[in-house]
Amino acid sequence: MRVGERVTLLDGQGWAYEGVLIAVDEGNVRCQTLRRWEAAGEPRTHITLYQAVLKGERFSWALQKGVEVGVSAFAPLICERNVVDDLAAIESKRERWECIIREAAEQCGRGRLPELDQTQLFSQAASPSLPPPCPSPGRRGAGGEVRLIAWEGEYSTTLRDALARCNWAAGARIQLFVGPEGGFTEDEIALARRCGVQPVTLGPRILRAETAGVIAAALILYEAGEL
C-alpha cells in the first residue's frame, strides 16, 4: 500500500478505525486516524472452545475456522487419548497459534482478538470449583456459563436441547469441550457429568475432531440468532 491510501484498523478491544497512510517505510508504517466505530464482527454470545490438541495442522485449522465463526476464547486440552501429550512441545507452538488467531481475526473483521488460554489437562479444565449443577439440560457452571461436551456416545440430548434456557439477549456464555482424534473416554465423560458438564450429540454422523468444535460453535451462534 502507498501513502494516501485508506485502511481499516482493529485494536483488538472492540473498536475499528478508518485511517489514512501518511508514511510507509521499510519496517515502519504511520497512519492518521480519521474516525472510529464499534466493530460489528463480535457476537454477544461468548464461546470458549476447549479443544483437545490435535496432530499436524489440524489444531491450527480449528483455531482459524473457530475465529472466523465467532469463538471468543480457546483453551488447548490434553486428554487421555491425545496423540500429542508433551506439554512443553505444545506450549512451544503458542506464538504460532497466536499469530494464526490474529490473522484470522483481521481477515474476518473481528473487533476483539480471541484469547488463547494456557494448555490444560482435561481434568483441570472440567473440574473447577462449581456450585451444584442445575437439574435441567444446559447445566450452568461458575459465572453462569453453560458447560457442554460433544460426545458421540450421547444420543438423547441435542445441542438445541441443552441451549433451551440460554438468555441470548443478556449475552450467554458457553463452555464447549471437544475431544481428540480418539474421542473422550468413558471416565472423562463421567468426570464431566460430575462437574456439571452436559454431554450433547451433534447428530448421527461422527465428525472429525477438528470439525466438531467449529460446527458446534456455528450451531450455537445460529441458535443465538448471531449467524
Q: What is the pLDDT of residue 129?
A: 53
Least confident of 41-55, 77-91, 171-185: 77-91
Name the pLDDT band for 57 (thresholds 50, 70, 90): very high
Q: What is the pLDDT of residue 154?
A: 95
* Stretch 65-73: mean pLDDT: 97
The grid cell for 220 is 450455537
Cβ contacts of residue 119 below 8 Å, gap of 6+? 53, 75, 76, 77, 78, 87, 90, 91
Give me the residue spans of the domains in the chain.
6-38, 46-223
Q: What is the pLDDT of residue 224?
A: 94
Q: What is the pLDDT of residue 144?
A: 63
Mean pLDDT of the chain: 89
Q: Check if the beta carbon of residue 74 is closer than 8 Å to that of residue 81.
A: no
Q: What is the pLDDT of residue 97?
A: 96
* Stretch 157-163: mean pLDDT: 95
pTM over 0.75: yes
Domain 46-223: CATH superfamily is SPOUT methyltransferase, trefoil knot domain (3.40.1280.10)
Burial-class residue 204 by CB neighbours within 10 Å (0-12, 13-18, 19+). exposed
Name the pLDDT band for 38 (thresholds 50, 70, 90): confident
* Rg (alpha carbons) of the chain, rounded to whole number: 19
Measured distance CA(222)–CA(217) in Å, rounded: 9
pLDDT in tens, 123-150: 999 986 544 333 334 444 444 689 999 9
Q: What is the pLDDT of residue 85?
A: 65
